[in-house]
Structure 1
């Protein structure tokens, strides 16, 4: 389950910001997860609670923001929405798509106390 390692990275980012900005408690974490990132939101929620237990985010609520997959179709020269990595272009059916968004995972915002 790679979500555990991802959560450890998220907590590392939060802990580094807590030291840098001198806050001692996080109440909410907004985490943006792209539709093409291969990250399972339910697994992230479970792992976050476990990994955050002894950190400044120990009692934080995790809010997940899903961002859509977007690709550039080289066949029809359009920007298109994609739900899965190897889906064909919804406009022309072509398979030459360059992913331009939706693979990311980032800490979008923190609410601190």
Structure 2
């Protein structure tokens, strides 16, 4: 009888191990470059932001805001985001994966 009682918990544990991981842990949501930009970039690179003000003397007129840039090569965006520049901090791969960064850079380039 004791063996039967011990077999039940072992069977339950075995069954739980067969459950798909999605039911135990939420899958990562699809990356949305527009939402990421709004949450992590727009504060500095939107109207009146620190990054916008710092870019005004160097960017073509009217293009200091990143969303207004007509020439923003993805390779440059990826380099600056990954390494940081001036007061802009770097974004590590744990904050923004390489694939997400490439998608964000393409999204910024395609805006104009």
TM-score, normalization by structure 1: 0.24
Q: Which has the higher strand share?
A: 1
TM-score, normalization by structure 2: 0.24
Ranked by relative contact order (alpha carbons within 8 Å, sequence separation 6 or more), the top structure is 1
Q: Which has the higher helix share?
A: 2
Name which one, 1 or 2, has greater alpha-carbon Rg. Answer: 2
